[in-house]
C-alpha cells in the first residue's frame, strides 16, 4: 500500500524558514517523480513544485520560485521542501504526492494527508 | 499561465441522476488534464488522467471527455459517496501546472 506521510509543518513568523519532509513507503520511491501541492484554508488546490526521479528536473510555481527548494533522498525514500522567506499567503495544508511517471511530471496519483503550515506573527 | 475555469461552481443533484462537470482551458493543453475528487478532511483522489483514462480503482460511472479546450467529467448515476468537490488540473504547461477553482457537487 502506498503511504506518504508529511511532517515539519507548524506556526512560523513571516520571513522565517521551514523544512517539510515526506516519508514514502509501499512503492519504489526512486522510480517515480514527486510533487508538493498546497491548499489554503477554505481554498482550492495550488501546485507548488515537482521533481523527477533522479532530481534531474525540478519546477516551481511562480508564487514560490526563488524561495522554495524541492529535493529528495532516494536512499531514505524521502521528499523535502525547504521554504524560505515565508509569507502569510504561504499558509496552507501542504500535500506530498506521487506521480505516475519517473522522468516527467504529470498528474499525481497518490497523496499524503498533508502538513499544516501557518505563517503569522 | 494556463487558466482553468470550472463550471458550475456548485451543482445540486439527487442520487441516481447524471452529473456533468465542465472545465475550460484558456489555451490548448492537448489531453493533459486530470480530474480529482476531494471530500471534507481528506486528500484529493485522482479520478481521471489523460482527459479520459480512469485511474486505478475508479468506478466505471466516472468518465472523462474533451473537445478542443473544453473538458467534461461525467458521473453517470450519482451515488451518495460521490458528493464532494471536484477539481480539474492541467499538466501541459510545465512547470506552471494549474488547477481549476473546483465544483462543489451537493445533494439536492
Asked if A50 reaches chain B (Cβ–Cβ under 8 Å), the answer is yes
**What is the C-alpha to C-alpha distance for residues B51 and B48, in angstroms, rounded to an integer?**
6
Q: Which of A95-109, B24-38, B92-106 has the highest mean pLDDT?
A: B24-38
Q: For residue A104, what pLDDT is reported? A: 82
| In chain B, alpha helices (H) | none
Percent of chain B surpassing pLDDT 90? 94
What's the rounded mean pLDDT across residues A40-51? 96
Q: Which residues of B touch A (CB under 8 A)?
A: 1, 32, 34, 36, 38, 42-46, 49, 55-56, 87, 89, 91, 94-102
Distance CA B28, CA A13 (A): 40
SS3 A75: helix
Which pLDDT value is given to residue B96? 84
End-to-end CA distance of chain B: 35
Is A105 part of the contact surface with chain B (CB cutoff 8 Å)?
Answer: yes
Q: What's A52's DSSP letter?
A: -
Work out the average pLDDT over A91-95. 98
**Is A44 close to B101, i.e. CB distance below 8 A?**
yes
pLDDT band at B72 (very low <50, low <70, confident <90, very high): very high
Q: Say if residue B10's pLDDT is above 90.
A: yes
Give A-chain residues touching B49 at CB under 8 angstroms.
100, 106-107, 109
**Percent of chain A's residues with pLDDT above 70:** 100
CB of A106 less than 8 A from some CB of B? yes
Q: Is A31 helix (H, G, I), strand (E, B) or coil?
A: helix
Contact between B32 and A95 using a beta-carbon 8 Å cutoff: no
Among A56-60, B21-25, B27-31, B94-98, the minimum mean pLDDT is found in: B94-98
Amino acid at each position: 500500500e502506498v503511504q506518504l506521510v508529511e511532517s515539519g509543518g507548524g506556526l512560523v513568523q513571516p520571513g522565517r524558514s521551514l523544512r517539510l519532509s515526506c516519508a514514502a513507503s509501499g512503492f519504489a520511491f526512486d522510480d517515480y517523480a514527486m510533487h508538493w501541492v498546497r491548499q489554503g484554508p477554505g481554498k482550492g488546490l495550488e501546485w507548488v513544485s515537482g521533481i523527477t526521479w533522479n532530481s534531474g528536473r525540478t519546477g516551481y510555481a511562480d508564487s514560490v520560485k526563488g524561495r522554495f527548494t524541492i529535493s529528495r533522498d532516494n536512499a531514505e525514500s524521502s521528499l523535502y521542501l525547504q521554504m524560505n522567506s515565508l509569507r502569510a499567503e504561504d499558509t496552507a495544508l501542504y500535500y506530498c504526492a506521487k506521480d505516475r511517471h519517473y522522468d516527467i511530471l504529470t498528474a499525481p496519483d497518490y497523496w499524503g494527508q498533508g502538513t499544516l503550515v501557518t505563517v503569522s506573527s | 499561465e494556463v487558466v482553468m475555469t470550472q463550471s458550475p461552481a456548485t451543482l445540486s443533484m439527487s442520487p441516481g441522476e447524471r452529473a456533468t462537470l465542465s472545465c475550460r482551458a484558456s489555451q490548448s493543453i492537448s489531453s493533459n488534464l486530470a480530474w480529482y475528487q476531494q471530500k471534507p478532511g481528506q486528500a484529493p483522489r485522482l479520478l481521471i488522467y489523460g482527459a479520459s483514462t480512469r485511474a486505478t480503482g475508479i468506478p466505471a460511472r466516472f468518465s472523462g471527455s474533451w473537445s478542443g479546450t473544453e473538458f467534461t467529467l461525467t458521473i453517470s448515476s450519482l451515488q451518495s459517496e460521490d458528493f464532494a468537490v471536484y477539481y480539474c488540473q492541467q499538466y501541459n504547461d510545465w512547470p506552471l501546472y494549474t488547477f481549476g477553482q473546483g465544483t462543489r457537487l451537493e445533494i439536492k
